[in-house]
Amino acid sequence: MPIYRKILVPVDGSHTSTRGLQEAVRLAKDQHARIRLMHVVDQWSVIQSAGMDGGGAADILDMLEASGAKALNSAKTLADRSGVKSEAVIFRNLSGRVADLIIKEARKWRADLIVMGTHGRRGISHALLGSDAEAVVRLSGVPVMLVRGAPAAVKKKRPARQK
> Quick check: is 100 in a domain?
yes
> Quick check: is 56 in a domain?
no
Task: To the nearest 10°, report the CA torsion of 111, 78, 150, 26.
Answer: 50
- pLDDT tens, residue by residue, 113-163: 999 998 755 544 444 345 788 899 999 999 999 998 765 544 445 555 555
- pLDDT tens, residue by residue, 58-110: 777 788 889 999 999 999 999 999 999 999 999 988 777 889 999 999 999 99
Tell me the pLDDT of the chain averaged across its residues. Answer: 82
Domain residue limits at 17: 6-38+72-89+96-148
- pLDDT tens, residue by residue, 3-20: 999 999 999 999 999 999
> Quick check: is 144 in a domain?
yes
Rounded CA separation 49/136 (Å): 23
pLDDT of residue 120: 57
DSSP for the chain, written as a single string: --S-SEEEEE--SSHHHHHHHHHHHHHHHHHT-EEEEEEEE-HHHHHHHHT--SSTTHHHHHHHHHHHHHHHHHHHHHHHHTT--EEEEEEE--SS-HHHHHHHHHHHHT-SEEEEEE----HHHHHHH--HHHHHHHH-SS-EEEEEPPPPPPPPPPPPPP-
Single pTM value for the model: 0.81
Rounded CA separation 14/98 (Å): 16
> Quick check: is 54 in a domain?
no
> Quick check: is 143 in a domain?
yes
Domains in the chain, number: 1
Residue 55 has pLDDT above 60, yes or no: no
> Quick check: is 30 in a domain?
yes
CATH number, residue 11:
3.40.50.620
> Quick check: is 161 in a domain?
no
> Quick check: is 82 in a domain?
yes
